[in-house]
Every structure is written in C-alpha cells, then in structure tokens.
Amino acid sequence: MKDKSIAAVMEKANEPLRMREFPIPEVKEGCVLVKTLASGVCGTDVHCWRGQVKMPLPMILGHESVGTIDKLGTGRSADSMGEPIAQGDRVFWVAGHPCGKCYGCVVLKDTTVCSGRRAYGTSYSCADYPYLAGGYSEYVFLTERSFLFKVPEAVPSEAAIAFGCGFPTAVKGFEVIGGVRPGTSVLIQGAGPVGLSCVVLAKLGGANPITVMGAPQARLEMARRLGADHAIDIAPLARPEDRVKKAREVAGEADLCIEASGFPGAVAEGVELVRANGRYLVMGVFSDLGPAPVNPSIIVRRNLKLFGSVFWEPRHLHEVLRLLALYNDRLKLEDAVSAKYALENATQALQDVEALKCVKAIISPCAA
Ligand SMILES: [Zn+2]
Ligand SMILES: [Zn+2]
C-alpha cells in the first residue's frame, strides 16, 4: 500500500488546480481506502471552481467516482446492500453524509433536505483529516460514515460514472413526481447528464413523445440515441419566446416538463410548455444563480403541479446500478464519456465542461 496520494487541489476560485501530495491516513475500523478509476466532472464542480458555491478551501473537487478497493478497515466486509466486498472490487461511493440529527433526517426521514449535510468534494477541506475527501485524487479515503455500492461486474466503470450524480438525481426526481406512465408526453429542458438520465427513465417508463431541448449537437445526438423522439437545438433560438414557440411546434404541450438545464430563466419557459393539470419538475438549478421572473397566472390557470427535487439518497444510486446491470448492454452509457483527462489536466477538464465541449468528461487518476 502506498502511503501518499497525489490530488488536484482547488486553492482559490478561478485559479488552476494545483497538484499536491497528501499522506494516506491509517485505514481504521469501518473505513475504506479506494484507488480512483474515474471521477466525473460535474457541472456543479464548475460552479464550485467559479466560486458560486460556498465551500472551505483548499478542496479536492469530485463527488462522483468509481474506484477499486485498496484497503478495507476491520469490520467493513460488505457494501451498503450487504454484498460482500474485498480488495480489488470496484465500488461507487456516495459523496453525501447526512447529519442524522436534524429535522430532515429525523422527522421527515429525508436526508436530501438534511440541514447538516456534508459531502466529499464539496464540504471537507483537504487541509483536514482525512485529507483525501474528493475524487480528483489518486486515492480517496472513505470514513466509516460512507455508503458505497459494488459496481455490477457486467457494468463498465465508465458506464457507471457516465451520468455521474445526475443519474441518481434524476431517479430521485422521478420518485418525487410519481414517475411516468405509458404515453406521458415529456419535455426535458437541458441535455446534460441530468437531462439525459431523464430521457433514459422516461423511455423505460413508456413516455411518448420525449422531447429534449438543449445543446450542443453531441448531447442532442446522445439524447436521440437514448430514446428521445425529438431533440431541439437551442443554439439558434436566442430568445425565450423563440424556444417556447419551437417546443410547441415540435412537441405540443407536455404532461410533464423537467427543468434539467441549470438556468434560472428556464423555469418561466417551462411553465408555458406544460399542459393543463400537468407537472413541472425543477431539478437542474442547483447552484443559486439568483431569481428569475415567472408568470404565476399560468400556474393557476392550468392547475399546474410544481415539484422541486434536490440530491438523492444512497438507495437511488443503488437503483442506478441495478438499472445499468439490467439495461446497459443496450444503453451503452460508456459511450457518453466523450472526454478523459489525466489528473494533472483537471483544470482543462473544468474549462471544457464549462464550454459544453463534452457530453461527459471524466478524470482518470489511476487507470485500471
Ligand atoms: Zn454532481
Ligand atoms: Zn440532517
């Protein structure tokens, strides 16, 4: 076992990440040391790097990762489903840690609204023990509080990480709204990992038609490949009214509209595209980019049901891995990984994700 690990560290917002070396702490009871195979570069990482998310610095970014178990602490012999685990097994770990003490955790029993939630890659500074608490690192140290799941053997690591935290986010969002039924018309705003995951879930539920609005072309092609009936390129549609008009022409009104774009302004357009008695799920605008005006009269006159959904629980990641075990031979989500970066090129990865150059970018600190 190595006693040091290299990581790409965010020391200041907007500055290049720096390669730093950290000591690997002793793997105590219940803890797990993993060697990182792939860390997704999430849109949230870009917001973090741009200083739009409050976090302690220095920070090792990366909250969606797959790795192989390098060392298991005593007492850790199974994953969070009770599946036996051993050195060398591939696992996908849950970045978030609920506090277990707040109103959300105790009364609501919904850890996604935990007020004391902390997460690898966003809340633990690498200045503090156990240092290696983010995926942009050769090794990640999972404390005894961490949930983790074995990646099914038939599922390639890149398929598991392809939509990163976006996939369990979408699974939880679908749970919140009660899913789709055969023939539900679905309009998805945004063709990033959350939007593309929604395409998969809508298709599996029999939704029709499924329409995605987004950019760039490579993401829209992936949306079509995953089952979208229509994919609207918003690049030439600069004004909100142009986008609404186009969506109505192509898809009509939607029983269900999903905001997976991350842009506050999308909400005003989304409510215009939902049919009477329809549902609108807002899931993409995670980072607080400020308010955006919405016409509330539309919500009243059409009996709209509005839903918000944030984060996900360990079971949603388990559902993603089960879904991949069942369907990835035809989904082939590994094809969505369109750019791979070495750890030292992590800054470039953030820039490319920000510029929407990739369907999904991953950092591979230690190739298999
Ligand atoms: Zn994420
Ligand atoms: Zn809590």
Q: How do residues 60-111 score in pLDDT, each as one tens digit? A: 999 999 999 999 999 999 999 999 999 999 999 999 999 999 999 999 999 9
Residue range 27-38: average pLDDT?
97
Give me ligand 1 centre to Cα 349, in Å. 14
Whole-angstrom distance, CA of residue 90 vs CA of residue 104: 31
Fold of 166-308: Rossmann fold (3.40.50)
Delimit the CATH 3.40.50.720 region(s) of the chain: 166-308
pLDDT band at residue 2 under the 50/70/90 scheme: confident
Give me ligand 2 centre to Cα 146, in Å. 15
Residue range 24-41: average pLDDT?
97
> From the CA of 41, which ligand is nearest?
1
Give me ligand 1 centre to Cα 81, in Å. 23
Please state, rounded to an integer, the average pLDDT across all residues of the chain.
Answer: 96
Give me ligand 2 centre to Cα 110, in Å. 8
Residue 47 pLDDT = 92
Paired strand residues for 7: 20, 137
pLDDT band at residue 286 under the 50/70/90 scheme: confident
Residue 287 pLDDT = 81
Are the CB atoms for 273 and 255 separated by under 8 Å? no
> From the CA of 97, which ligand is nearest?
2
% of the chain exceeding 90 in pLDDT? 96
User: Which CATH architecture fits 4-164+313-363?
Assistant: Alpha-Beta Complex (3.90)
Q: Which residues contact 269 (CB under 8 A, 6 or more apart)?
A: 189, 240, 243, 244, 247
Paired strand residues for 137: 7
Give me ligand 2 centre to Cα 36, in Å. 28
Delimit the CATH 3.90.180.10 region(s) of the chain: 4-164+313-363
Element (H, E) at 244: helix 240-251
Residue 367 pLDDT = 65
> From the CA of 113, which ligand is nearest?
2
> From the CA of 111, which ligand is nearest?
2
pLDDT band at residue 222 under the 50/70/90 scheme: very high
